[in-house]
Chain A
Amino acid sequence: MSKTFRSLALALVAGGALALSGAATQAKVEGDTITLGSAISFTGKYSTNGVHAQKGYDIAIERINEMGGVKVNGASYKLAVQYYDDESTPARGAQLAERLINQDGIKFLLGPYSSGLTKAIAPVTEKYKIPMVEAEGASRSLFTQGYRYLFAVLSTSEQYLASSIDLAAEIAKKAGKDPSEVRIAMAFENDPFSLDVRQGVVDDANRYGMQIVVDDKLPRDLSDMSATLTKVKALKPDLLVVSGHSKGAATAARQLAELKIDTPMVAMTHCESAAIISKFGRSTEGILCPTQWAETLSYEDGYFGSAADFDAAFKARYPEYEETGVPYQAAQAAAAVLVWKEAFENAQSFDTDALRDALAATDMTTFYGGIKFSEAGNNVAKPMVLRQVQDGELNVVAPSKWASHPVNHPRPVE
């Protein structure tokens, strides 16, 4: 028994070593292939979204390669990615970034999933002056560290629910009230991402002089927020905002119905990943959900066409998304690859500093939205949009420039 176990273990170790030596021979640019690197979560708590992001990277790479690849100095290069599984742990992510750079010789990185992992990897890429285009780390604390080699295509977290405050102000004005009369209840998880989202809401609420009547922090292992909602029920605010990843969205959606909360306006993050509409049905009508991207938006580019074209192409490539819809995590990952492609062509070089400058000068339109980086590296050309659950569908209702449907106010409560 123990002998077979030992030989099995030996075989595993030997196999692992072989796989390692195989990976180590890959370099940044070999023959006609440019290899990008990414440590991303295939296992652990971020694995669902990690896999969405990987598929986004892959579909963009396939599309670019089909279209003739990347043209640098008259030669055509194909793109490829070296992936490692960071197991959703920051320490492992940082280790793997070192390994990609030092052992595998990779000079061009794509980001991991989540702000936490990006925070762990950014100091490594900064140390080696390796540019990284990331698509899944939205925490604004990533962009206050003075990183020069970090570029993010997505909107930062404090913008997530801020648009719901603008919308509440707009609605108040329409009803002939002053926005400062709006009363807000907030429930945010006590983690870096959700607290960023909260800060954005607080800043905007203060700008309008709105009153915050409930300000509860939710625990990490949240499975019950009925006490908070009981408070909301008693205080009757005009707007309830909730953010606590998919557990927060699922718990809030279930208990909003259970306690028959009749707040006229409810906004929460992670509606899609918690699948609140399919889980909780009619009771989710009228809930507002921010999103980085929606397939109904009228953005376009020369690679995928419109946002709707990307949606169709993604579903054709990965039919398992036919029912669930294409997550924005996949769309923004694909956009990050497009940014790399244009940077290579604009720099006409594989020198990391020339590439950094080309990335910093990016100003392009993609199916995912405009991409233009601030000094800090975050994308300032794309707004967050707000969707509302209307007849079981998510329709864009704000900002008004991109709205496909008018907002239903107050939300229907059975």
Chain B
Amino acid sequence: MLANLELLFQAPILNVQLLLDGLLIGAVFALSAYGLALVWGVMNVKNLAQGDLVIMGGYIAYSLSRVGVHPIIGLPIAFVAMFIFGWIIYRVIIARVVYKDLFTSLLATFGLSLLLQQVLNLIYGPDVRTADSGFAIRNVFGGFVTVADIKLVSFGLAGVLAIGVVVFMKKSRMGQAIRATAQDPRAARVLGIDTERVYAFTYALNAAICGAAGVLISMMWVIQPFYGIGHSIRSFVIVTAAGLGNLPAVIISGLGLGVLEQFAAFTLGAELQVFTVVSALLVVLIWRQIQHARQRQVVK
């Protein structure tokens, strides 16, 4: 570990490589985390199937690339397909648990997560899959740092998508209804907002965002039916750190987590990459506890 740290000091250019890799993948983490923040904030459902929705999006891109559709073109298709899928899932499962207590919704989404994993495994088998963008790989700093164009493109797409969602939430009628429902569902209902529809839309939008993130993941990393859990955990870490309904914080946490993972894998070994994510969750939770305790004292 010390030798690895030393290496970072001796060859500072390595930091640039790790930083870039981390930031570019972190943007995609932020995307699915924002979806989770939305569902959590609006409906108070902690969606444990978040990562599986991401992986599903990846498989849509993979399937489309098999029939000759470029994964980038596959992104809007996956977005729409996952939106419809999310709407159906809401009507069939989530609508029944949204007013129940925390554990019911946790159990239901956990069950959904298992179901999705097994169905994907039945359809695609357990081997890892990738969708290939065929984009070039760029040398920077005299070849010491390489950047795959697909990572830049996906960073850009993640940004566009995030801005799109923000504008939608601020300007559109549905976006306003979603925000109103998040603040006070009862008042929203009294004022004539169809909260049931708002919930369905929110969950569907989350699934669509996850699907888009999955398409990007399938072009940068690899996907496998059981890889959803890692993405779920990342989303939870980011949302817990950033808080609900705070998009800039979600983006910063997402990018931060991406960078943290890369540096942890470099210094501690790749084995501890996911361990770092989980530890980060723990640290964030403890820190939040301390924060809350302090606030309570102030109220006293």
A residues with CB within 8 A of B: 43-48, 88, 187, 190, 216-219, 221-228, 230-231, 233-235, 246-247, 250-251, 254, 257-260, 273-274, 279-280
Q: Which residues of A contact B121 (CB under 8 A)?
A: 44-45
User: Taking the nearest CB of chain A, how far is it from the CB of B188, in angstroms?
Assistant: 33
**Chain B: interface secondary structure?**
helix
Residues in B with CB closer than 8 Å to A279 are 130, 132
Residue of A nearest to B267 (CB): A227
Check A234–B7 contact: CB distance below 8 A. yes
Answer whether A217 and B269 are a contact pair too, CB < 8 Å, given A230-B14, A251-B222, A279-B132. yes
Stretch of B32-40, B153-161, B226-234, B280-288 on the interface side: B226-234
Q: How far is the CB of B1 from chain A (nearest CB, A)?
A: 11
11 A-B pairs (CB sep. < 8 Å): A46-B126, A217-B270, A218-B270, A221-B230, A223-B128, A223-B222, A230-B18, A234-B14, A250-B130, A260-B137, A260-B139
Residue of B whose beta carbon sits closest to that of A258? B148
Question: In the complex, A224 Cα to B234 Cα: how many Å?
Answer: 14
Query: Roughly how many angstroms separate A343 CA and B7 CA in the complex, as a whole number?
Result: 58
For the complex, give the distance between the alpha carbons of A254 and B131 in Å. Answer: 11
Question: B127, A187: Cβ atoms under 8 Å?
Answer: no
Considering the complex, give the chain A residue whose CB is closest to the CB of B271.
Answer: A217
A217 to B132, CA, bound (A): 26
**B176 contacts A by Cβ under 8 Å:** no
- B168 contacts chain A at the CB level, 8 A cutoff: no
CB-CB under 8 A from A187, the residues of chain B are 270
Distance of A283 Cα from B264 Cα, bound (Å): 28
Is there an interface contact between A227 and B270, defined as CB atoms closer than 8 Å? yes
Contact of A257 among B17, B137, B261 (CB under 8 A): B137
CB contacts (< 8 Å) of B261 on chain A: these are 224, 227
Q: Which residues of A contact B271 (CB under 8 A)?
A: 190, 216-219
Q: Report yes or no: B227 in contact with A246, Cβ–Cβ below 8 A.
A: no
Cβ of B270 and Cβ of A47 under 8 Å apart? no
CB-defined contacts of A43 to chain B, threshold 8 Å: 122
Report if B143 contacts A (CB, 8 A).
Answer: yes
Minimum C-beta distance from A213 to chain B (A) = 9
CB pair B227 A221 closer than 8 Å: yes
Q: List B contacts of A48 (CB < 8 A).
A: 125-127
Q: Are A251 and B148 in contact (CB under 8 A)?
A: no
Docked complex Cα distance between A224 and B28 (Å): 14
Q: Tell me, rounded to whole Å, the shortest Cβ–Cβ distance linking B223 to chain A.
A: 8
Q: A48-B125, A274-B128 are in contact. Are A234 and B262 (CB under 8 A)?
A: no
* Interchain CA distance A233-B13 in the complex, whole Å: 11
